[in-house]
Amino acid sequence: MKLTIIGCTGSMSGPHSAASCYLVQARGYDPALGAERTWNVALDLGPGSFGALWNHIDPADLDAVVFSHCHADHMGDVISLHVHRRWGPARGQAPLLLAGTCNLLDRIRQIDGCPPEEDYALDFRIHSLEAGQPLECGPLRLTPVEGWHSVDAFGVRIEGPAEAEGEDALQEGEAPSTVNMLYTGDTDLCPTMIEGARGVDLLLSEAGFTLADEVEGIHMNGVKVGRLASEAGVGRLVVTHIQPWTDPAVVVNEVRQTWSGPLDVAQSNQVYTL
Q: Which residues of the chain form contacts with Zn ion (CB under 5 A)?
A: 71, 73, 186
Rounded to 5 degrees, what are φ and ψ at 197?
A: -90, -5
In angstroms, the Cα distances linking 5 to 83, 111, 126, 183, 219 are 23, 24, 24, 12, 20
Q: CB of residue 103 vs Zn ion: minimum separation in angstroms?
A: 13
Q: CB of residue 69 vs Zn ion: minimum separation in angstroms?
A: 6
Identity of the residue numbered 269: N
Closest CA to 243 of 16, 4, 1: 16
**Contact (CB, 8 A) for 19 and 154:** no
Q: CB of residue 138 vs Zn ion: minimum separation in angstroms?
A: 27
Closest CA to 147 of 107, 190, 183, 180: 190
Q: What is the DSSP string of 31-55?
A: TTTTEEEEEEEEE---TTHHHHHTT
Angle at 5 between CA 97 and CA 38, to 5 degrees: 50
Q: CB of residue 120 vs Zn ion: minimum separation in angstroms?
A: 22
Identity of the residue, 67 or 124, whose beta carbon is nearer to Zn ion in the bound complex: 67
Q: CB of residue 147 vs Zn ion: minimum separation in angstroms?
A: 9
Buried b (16+ CB within 10 A) or exposed e, 63-97: bbbbbbbbbbbbbbbbbbbbebbeeeebeeeeebb
